[in-house]
Every structure is written in C-alpha cells, then in structure tokens.
C-alpha cells in the first residue's frame, strides 16, 4: 500500500497538516542537501544542527511533534537540539535509525497519524504497511525551501533586501 499525503490532508484554514507525529530519517534527509552532505566529513555535528534549523519551522507546521532519528553511537536524545515540538534522537549502536523508526511507527496507537520522511524504499514500504504516511526526503526539503522563501518574503519590507534579523526570527 502506498501511503503518501493526499491534498485533502492539508488544512488550508490553519496552513498545516493534521499529523500527530512527523518522524524524519535524519541522515537520509541530510544526504539530500548537498551543502550539508559535504559537511559530514569535517563537521558532522554542525551538519546536523543546520539540518534541524532548516527543517524546524516546516516540521512544526506539519505535525504537533517531530522526531529526527539519526544513526549514532551517541544513543539517546540530543538535548541541545531538542525543543518543545522537536526532538533529535540517536539510535543505539545495535539498531539502525530505520529500525528505530519502524518500531516507533508500529508501537504508536494511531500510525495513520504519522508522517515519515525518508527516501529509503525499504523503509517507505515497511512504515506504509504499518499504516503511516510517507514523504520523500526530496519532497520534504522542497517544502522546507518553499516555506523558508515565503517566510522571508513576509518578514522583508517591500523593495528592500533582508536584514540579519529577518533571517533569524525571535526564538531561534
């Protein structure tokens, strides 16, 4: 079963999707952003931080809670990147991020209220068969980029270029 978001999943009045939980395959998404993928060899933590900042606003508009899962030796939560609506989680050494995501979906009481962002076909098939919706990493990043442009144009006065404060809204 192919479970991708349909147009009717979008609430035009509130400007948001009605998912309870957005789960993102962290490194899968990170590898789809060329400038961040290049950073992996020299500054892996910086690449993760930039990814989280880049997707934060869109993720918050799509679901009440967002979890970004990375493969990692760190295991557990990254409290420096975690906020009220977004948590960053590292899989334990003996499990892949894919396995963690699959378990999260299967253990959730209403998997049909979950959207998983991944371009991994096996992961897509597994979480879809459990009842979750999926979106490709490419499609999600395109949405993040479009949202960022729209937000920047709203904050920038007409006929003027953006100022530093326009690029970093309060609370960031």
- Radius of gyration for the chain, computed over Cα atoms and rounded to the nearest angstrom: 16
pLDDT recorded at residue 125: 96
- Of residues 62 and 7, more confidently modeled: 62
CATH fold group of domain 12-167: Rossmann fold (3.40.50)
Cα 26 from Cα 12, distance rounded (Å): 28
pLDDT recorded at residue 148: 80
Question: Is the pLDDT score of 105 beyond 90?
Answer: yes
pTM for this one? 0.78
58 in Cβ contact with 147 (< 8 Å): yes
Among 10-19, 139-148, 159-168, top mean pLDDT goes to 139-148
pLDDT recorded at residue 18: 74
Q: How would residue 77 be classed by pLDDT, with cut points 50, 70 and 90? A: low
Element (H, E) at 129: helix 121-129
Hey, which bits of the chain come out as E strands? 10-11, 16-17, 19-25, 63-70, 76-77, 86-90, 114-117, 133-135
Q: Which two tokens stand for residue 149?
A: 């442009």
Per-residue pLDDT tens over the stretch 18-75: 799 999 999 999 999 999 999 988 998 899 999 998 898 888 889 999 999 998 766 5
């Amino acid at each position: 079963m192919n479970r991708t978001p349909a147009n009717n999943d979008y609430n035009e009045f509130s400007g948001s999707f009605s998912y309870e939980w957005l789960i993102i395959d962290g490194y899968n998404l990170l590898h789809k952003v060329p400038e961040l993928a290049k950073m992996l060899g020299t500054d892996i933590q910086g690449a993760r931080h930039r990814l989280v900042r880049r997707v934060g606003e869109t993720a918050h508009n799509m679901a009440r809670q967002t979890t970004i899962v990375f493969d990692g030796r760190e295991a557990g939560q990254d409290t420096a990147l975690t906020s009220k609506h977004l948590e960053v989680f590292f899989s334990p050494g003996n499990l892949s991020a894919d396995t963690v995501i699959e378990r999260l979906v299967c253990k959730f009481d209403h998997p049909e209220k979950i959207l998983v962002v991944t371009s991994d076909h096996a992961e897509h098939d597994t979480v879809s068969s459990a009842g979750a919706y999926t979106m490709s990493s490419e499609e999600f990043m395109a949405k993040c980029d479009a949202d960022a442009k729209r937000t920047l144009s709203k904050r920038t006065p007409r006929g003027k270029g953006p100022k530093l404060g326009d690029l970093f809204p309060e609370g960031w």
